[in-house]
Amino acid sequence: MMLQKYMCMLGIGSAKIDLVLPKYEFTVGENIEGQFNIAGGFISQPLKRIECDLIMHCEKREIDEVIGSSTILTSKIIKPKQTQSITFSYQLPEELPETSVNPQFKFRTRLIFHEGVKSADTDNIVIKTNDPEVYKSPVRIN
């Protein structure tokens, strides 16, 4: 049992999170509805919070910029092999930061436990705007 606890603290066999979205192409200002699916690992783990950041990647400048965040504080216990779903809702901004042509967007989701262990998930999305000069042809990255 102690071995499993230490393995979970290293991320091996710990609970996992997956952001599930109904689609992966959105327009500026759109409200996104989805869910976080959480699957328990080897042992019970007390959950502290769920963090989800909307990130814009600019290939030309080779940087990732956080343009929005959502945090859910919780005190749930994720039991071994248990599955839970938590509703996700996020309002995309009406305007996006100026950037080069074809920025890439993703949601980076993290499950934070009391012991400081993290489980992460990344979901790439496309955000379309009405500005054809800046966003000529949205590309979904994998």
> CB of 95 within 8 A of CB of 28?
yes
C-beta neighbour count of 140 within 10 angstroms: 12
**142 found inside a domain:** no
CA 51 vs CA 7, 26, 73, 90, 99: distances in Å: 23, 21, 9, 12, 25
73-101 residue pLDDT tens = 988 898 998 999 999 999 999 988 876 66
**76 found inside a domain:** yes
> CB of 41 within 8 A of CB of 8?
yes
Report the CATH number that the domain containing residue 49 is assigned in CATH.
2.60.40.640
34-62 residue pLDDT tens = 999 999 988 888 889 999 999 998 877 77
Number of structural domains the chain divides into: 1
pTM score: 0.80
Range of the domain at 74: 2-128
**108 found inside a domain:** yes
**136 found inside a domain:** no
**134 found inside a domain:** no
